[in-house]
Amino acid sequence: MTRPLDVLALGNAIVDVIARCEEDFLVHQGVAKGSMTLIDEDRAESIYAAMGPATITSGGSAANTVVGAASFGARSAFIGKVKADPVGDLFAHDIVASGVAFGTSLAREGKATARSFILVTPDGERTMNTYLGACQDLSEADIDPTTVQSAAVTYLEGYLWDPPAAKAAFRKAADIAHAAGREVALTLSDSFCVNRYRDEFRQLISGGTVDLVFANEHELKALYETADFDTALEALRRDAKRAAVTRSEKGAVIIEGRKTFAIPAYPIETLVDATGAGDAYAAGFLFGYTAGLGYEKAGRLGALAASHVIQKIGARPEKSLKVLAQENGLL
């Protein structure tokens, strides 16, 4: 019998290669600050050669989220594809060491494990250049029905629309989840990603494939092609069953039907590296949501987790989020 899960995440399995850089470097490299740009192998080599000394940590948006949820105490699993190379081994090691079940087979041949070359500017903003590599080999065959059926929420990242075969895996997972009476959550991932797949994302949300939407302000505006936040939020309210929209230091807004919950951000001392802020927010929210703690508490847990990961290098928590939540009187 499969152990019941709170959160199953499906996403691109990526290691982050993180270096600091000056603003000029982004200009010279011609990359859009704050975004995620897809790159090929040649471009990966040239950007890596130009980057400063780097640190390698496990990353991947949905993977970061499920590791965070597990750190709060959620029963968690992840599906995503890496190759059996030294950085793929790091990814697999870290996710298991974080208490997340990970049963996807490592590719023995084919493209290398995906790497995101992340440039962190002095203001703490991160700009990502991602070589998808082995993520392109994630397919429907990697979706284990009993795992999906056992999860209260299956969490999918919008980035899965980039590798062609992953889209089918995404749809298969969503179908199995709903057939089992489970819920499906989606993060819009990145405003450029929204621009690439706007119509499909809107269809997923308004068509009922998705029960819970995560987005930041920029992604939401991109989704509804408006510069006005309130206009975008009302459009989302019509389309989505429920959603959590993050606005950096302005906090987050959770909506469900006519209900609205505005939750402030946690104050921080220094923004060191914004990588993983949205992922951590989703982690806290999903933990609170699946534990039945209510939107107010779920939102606060998300905000707390985000405040933790942006005050250090890398996207994953450095200490137990459960302990952090207890220290802050949330659990």
Binding site for a second copy (CB under 8 A): 17, 19-20, 48-49, 51-58, 67, 85-87, 90, 93-94, 97-98, 112-113, 313-314, 316, 318
CA–CA separation, 271 vs 195, rounded Å?
A: 28
Residue closer to a second copy (CB basis): 108 or 258: 108
Residue closer to a second copy (CB basis): 98 or 307: 98
Residue closer to a second copy (CB basis): 52 or 294: 52
- Shortest distance in whole angstroms from residue 28 CB to a second copy: 15
Residue closer to a second copy (CB basis): 92 or 253: 92
- Shortest distance in whole angstroms from residue 99 CB to a second copy: 10
CA–CA separation, 311 vs 316, rounded Å?
A: 11
Residue type, 109: E
- Shortest distance in whole angstroms from residue 105 CB to a second copy: 18
- Shortest distance in whole angstroms from residue 131 CB to a second copy: 12
What Cα–Cα distance (Å) separates residue 260 from each residue in 216, 224, 242?
16, 19, 10
Residue closer to a second copy (CB basis): 171 or 312: 312
Instruction: State the sign of the Cα–Cα–Cα–Cα dihedral 143, 145, 149, 151.
Output: negative
CA–CA separation, 184 vs 241, rounded Å?
A: 11
- Shortest distance in whole angstroms from residue 283 CB to a second copy: 14
- Shortest distance in whole angstroms from residue 126 CB to a second copy: 16
Residue closer to a second copy (CB basis): 19 or 62: 19
CA–CA separation, 174 vs 284, rounded Å?
A: 22
**Structure tokens that stand for 71 in this block:** 């750190």
DSSP 8-state code for residue 288: H
**Structure tokens that stand for 133 in this block:** 């590599």
Residue closer to a second copy (CB basis): 25 or 155: 25
36-38 and 76-79 strand pairing: unpaired
Q: How many residues does the chain have?
A: 331
- Shortest distance in whole angstroms from residue 94 CB to a second copy: 4
- Shortest distance in whole angstroms from residue 46 CB to a second copy: 12
Find tokens 């023995």 and name the residue. 108
141 neighbors 55 (Cβ within 8 angstroms): no
3-state secondary structure 64-101: HHHHHHHHHCCCEEEECCCECCHHHHHHHHHHHHCCEE
15 neighbors 90 (Cβ within 8 angstroms): yes
Residue closer to a second copy (CB basis): 17 or 173: 17
